[in-house]
Structure 1
Amino acid sequence: MKVIYNCYGSAHSSVLAAGIHVGLLPEDRVPTFGEITALPHYDQTETEEIGTIYYFGEDELGSQVYILGMKSSPKVVKRAIFSMLEEFDIDRTELVLVDSLPYVNNMTRIGGFLSRGLGLVKIGRPLTVYGLQKSYSRFVNLVQGVKKRLGYIY
């Protein structure tokens, strides 16, 4: 099974969700600033990289986890992915697309814009982390829901 966590730019919410999914972040407590910023790709994706699928790791049952930024066109990107699977005769049930953007609060949005959009990393990155910490339980619930959907026991 392949799981792709997607968001606007594959720099914050998809990275956080993927980090929880593969066990790089805890499910039983809010991670520290350092734990979040140490995640691969965290607050690093450049605008020209949006739309690139990045392998993030493997979970405890062997599902491969990826991240993907879809900018403002998630419907178009999803349609392209699923039509490509169909064209190459790949079973679409082997792929789970998970939108992590709805779990982001305004603090993370503002921080992401400042950091990735304006290049004000020193101001924006701490705001993204703070925002994600404040909504962390929602991300844990998201990941647990995905794992339940995949047939994991929860």
Structure 2
Amino acid sequence: MVIVYMCYGSAHSSVVAASIHVGLLPTDRVPTYEEIISLPHYDKTSNNEIGTLFYMGKDEFGNEVYIVGARNGRKIVTKAIYSFLSLYGISKKDILVVDALPTIGLTTKIGGITSRRLGIIFLGRPITVYGILKKYNNFVKLVTDVKTKFQIRS
């Protein structure tokens, strides 16, 4: 199975969710600031990379896990992923696209705008991490739910 965590810019919520999924972040505690900012792709995706799938690793079941940023076109990007992969004989039941954006709050959104859109990284990045840490249990729940659904489907 291919699992794709999707968010606005593939810089924050999708990175954190996918990192939990593949074991780069813990499920039994809130990670440290350093653990978050050291993640691959965290707060680093540029505008021209929106819509690009980034490989994050394999989970314990051997599923490949990716992230993608879709801006405000998450429904369209989801449809495009499913339709493109179906051209290669990959069934919709073998792909799971997960919207990670609802896991974050206003703090992370403000930090993301400050860092990614306005380019004030030294200010925005710490704000995003603070917001992620405040809502970390949302991410753990999302990933746990995804893994539970996967086990039911396999």
Q: Does 1:62 align with 2:62?
A: yes
Identical counterparts, % of pairs: 53
SS at match of 1:151: helix
Residue type matched to 1:38 in 2?
A: S
Q: Does 1:128 align with 2:128?
A: yes
Gaps of 5+ in 2: none
Q: Does 1:87 align with 2:87?
A: yes
Gaps of 5+ in 1: none
Q: Which runs of 4 or more aligned residues in structure 1 lie more than 3 Å from their structure 2 counterparts after TM superposition?
A: none
Tell me the CA shift for residue 86 of structure 1.
2.8
Query: Distance between the aligned counterparts of 1:147 and 1:90, measured in 2?
Result: 20
Tell me the CA shift for residue 78 of structure 1.
1.2
Residue type matched to 2:125 in 1?
A: R
**Deviations along 1:114-137, whole A, 9 cap, x unmatched?**
000010000000000000000000
Query: Distance between the aligned counterparts of 2:95 and 2:86, measured in 1?
Result: 12
Which residue of structure 2 lines up, in the alignment, with residue 34 of structure 1? 34
Aligned 8 A contact 2:82 2:95 in 1: no
Residue type matched to 2:68 in 1?
A: L
Kindly tell me the number of residue pairs found equivalent between the two proteins: 152
Tell me the CA shift for residue 71 of structure 1.
0.7
Structural mapping, 1:4-153, within 5 Å: 4-151=4-151
Q: CA RMSD in A?
A: 1.0
Tell me the CA shift for residue 87 of structure 1.
2.8
